[in-house]
Amino acid sequence: MTDAVENAGGVQPATGAARGVTSVSDEVVEKIAGAAARSVPGVADLGGDVARFFNSLLDKVGLDEAGDARRGVSADVKGGSAVINVVLVIDSGHVVADVTEAVRAAVIEAVEKYGLTVTQVNVTVDDIELNQPAAGVGA
């Protein structure tokens, strides 16, 4: 009888989908991916020539942090999946394939910790930083 009473006209608790939708903006994913990419050894900077030029201008007028978090990264988030593009500058003396694979792995791990699925991470090496001493090269 208990089952009959509980099931007769009882209201089932709403699931998460019935209560609303959660979405994550492209900007949030770009910030997460940018931080992950910057943490990889061999990455000197993020962004193409134009983005780095405008960032240097912002630095000169005292807006050091403006645009840094997302620069060099674009994301397209649809539902729970993301496609991420990263443009970077590599330190001289580092193997491009090693750095780009490490960036790809770091970005995927960081973004997927937030519950999204990363379907692609496309990495473009836009420049090489020659002013930095290469890792492992004699001092």
Closest Cα to residue 39, out of 95, 96, 92, 109? 109
pLDDT(22) > 80 = yes
pTM of the model: 0.71
Which of 6-15, 48-57, 80-89, 129-138 ranks highest by mean pLDDT?
A: 80-89
Per-residue pLDDT, 66: 47
Q: What is the residue-averaged pLDDT of the chain? A: 79
> What is the C-alpha to C-alpha distance for residues 29 and 73, in angstroms, rounded to an integer?
9
pLDDT top residue among 108 and 56: 108
Average pLDDT over every residue of 67-86: 86
Q: State whether residue 73 is helix, strand or coil.
A: strand
Closest Cα to residue 73, out of 84, 58, 89? 84
Question: How confident is residue 21, by pLDDT bands cut at 50, 70 and 90?
Answer: confident
Average pLDDT over every residue of 18-31: 90
Closest Cα to residue 52, out of 129, 122, 134? 129
Closest Cα to residue 86, out of 28, 114, 125? 125
Per-residue pLDDT, 32: 96
Cα distances from 63 to residues 45, 49, 57, 59, in angstroms, run 17, 19, 9, 5
